[in-house]
């Protein structure tokens, strides 16, 4: 294996996309080994590489790491993207848990039965617009002086940017379920943060066509993921 981290997941966003973002923001090149079928996943399990028998899994520094937040914490610590002291790291972790809650809620759409999907989408829209994005916006305005220092940034800034990009993708994918006013919901602080981070060289490169960033999930990718992970 090369010295580059190797990411194991399916060829889509899922829980590994935030890991791709953080590695890219740190300027770290990485490789990917895609799980294309249930047999690929089963082989990783039989080889003993998945502690909890699930992905994402990252091979890095001679270790086999699982659990998304553990992987993100390791990368952030290794590349000095996790705050300047224990208090700042605690705030970052608190914020990150909120982002994880929102991401988990959106991810549940994959296994939501058709007859419950409308209600689930309504709940996500309400929580996103009225609970999570306002909290993220308040944080941005309250900590604007600490967002970026030269070409440095905390992992939470990358995660905040992901929230904005994810929301934009969510609006696009579910536009048929949204009114025109809902689809135009904007939060100025988060949008400004997105603009600033987008111009950092490493992030800008990751946002270019042809990078390892994955497009918004569509029905084709969704169906393939369901087959790989045997989701009903």
Asked if 92 and 154 count as a contact pair (C-beta separation under 8 A), the reply is yes
- Cα 58–chain centre separation: 15
122 and 186, same structural domain?
yes
223 in a structural domain? no
Token digits of residue 163:
């929230």
130 and 40, same structural domain?
no
Per the omega criterion (within 30 degrees of 0), is the bond before 131 cis?
A: no
222 in a structural domain? no
Per-residue pLDDT at 2 = 56
User: Residue 156 sits in a domain of what CATH number?
Assistant: 1.20.1050.10
Higher local confidence (pLDDT), 219 or 37? 37
Per-residue pLDDT at 122 = 86
91 and 23, same structural domain?
no
127 and 98, same structural domain?
yes
94 and 126, same structural domain?
yes
**What is the share, in percent, of the chain residues with pLDDT greater than 90?**
29
* Predicted confidence (pLDDT) per residue in 97-115, tens digit: 888 888 888 778 777 888 9
Give rounded-to-5 percent helix, strand, coil for the chain: 60, 10, 30
- The DSSP H or E segment spanning 32 is strand 31-34
Per-residue pLDDT at 165 = 62
216 in a structural domain? no
Contacts of 183 (CB under 8 A, 6+ apart): 171, 175
Per-residue pLDDT at 59 = 97
Asked if 159 and 69 count as a contact pair (C-beta separation under 8 A), the reply is no
214 in a structural domain? no
Domain finish residue from 63, 79, 95: 79
State which residues form the domain around 75.
6-79
Per-residue pLDDT at 126 = 86
225 in a structural domain? no
Residue-averaged pLDDT of the chain: 80
95 and 193, same structural domain?
yes
Across 145-155, b (16+ Cβ under 10 Å) vs e yields: eebbeeeebbb
- pTM, entire model: 0.82
Of 77, 61, 2, the residue nearest 32 (C-alpha):
2
Question: How large is the average pLDDT for residues 189-200?
Answer: 78
Per-residue pLDDT at 159 = 62
Structural domain tally of the chain?
2
227 in a structural domain? no
Assess whether pLDDT exceeds 90 at residue 166.
Answer: no
Asked if 191 and 140 count as a contact pair (C-beta separation under 8 A), the reply is no
Least confident of 3-12, 58-67, 152-161: 152-161
């Amino acid at each position: 294996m090369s010295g580059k981290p190797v990411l194991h997941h399916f060829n889509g966003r899922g829980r590994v996309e935030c890991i791709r973002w953080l590695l890219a923001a740190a300027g770290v090149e990485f490789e990917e080994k895609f799980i294309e079928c249930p047999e690929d996943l089963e082989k990783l399990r039989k080889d003993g590489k998945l502690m909890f028998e699930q992905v994402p899994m990252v091979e890095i520094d001679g270790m086999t790491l699982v659990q998304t937040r553990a992987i993100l914490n390791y990368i952030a610590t290794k590349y000095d993207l996790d705050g300047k002291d224990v208090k700042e790291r605690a705030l970052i972790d608190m914020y990150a848990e909120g982002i994880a809650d929102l991401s988990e809620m959106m991810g549940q759409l994959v296994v939501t039965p058709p007859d419950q999907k409308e209600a689930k989408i309504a709940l996500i829209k309400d929580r996103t617009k009225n609970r999570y994005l306002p909290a993220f916006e308040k944080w941005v305005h309250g900590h604007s002086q600490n967002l970026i220092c030269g070409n440095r940034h905390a992992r939470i800034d990358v995660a905040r940017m992901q929230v904005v990009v994810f929301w934009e993708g969510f609006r696009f994918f579910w536009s048929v379920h949204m009114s025109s006013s809902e689809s135009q919901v904007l939060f100025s602080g988060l949008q400004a943060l997105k603009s600033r981070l987008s111009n950092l060289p490493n992030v800008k490169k990751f946002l270019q066509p042809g990078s390892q960033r994955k497009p918004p999930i569509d029905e084709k990718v969704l169906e393939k993921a369901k087959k790989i992970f045997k989701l009903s």
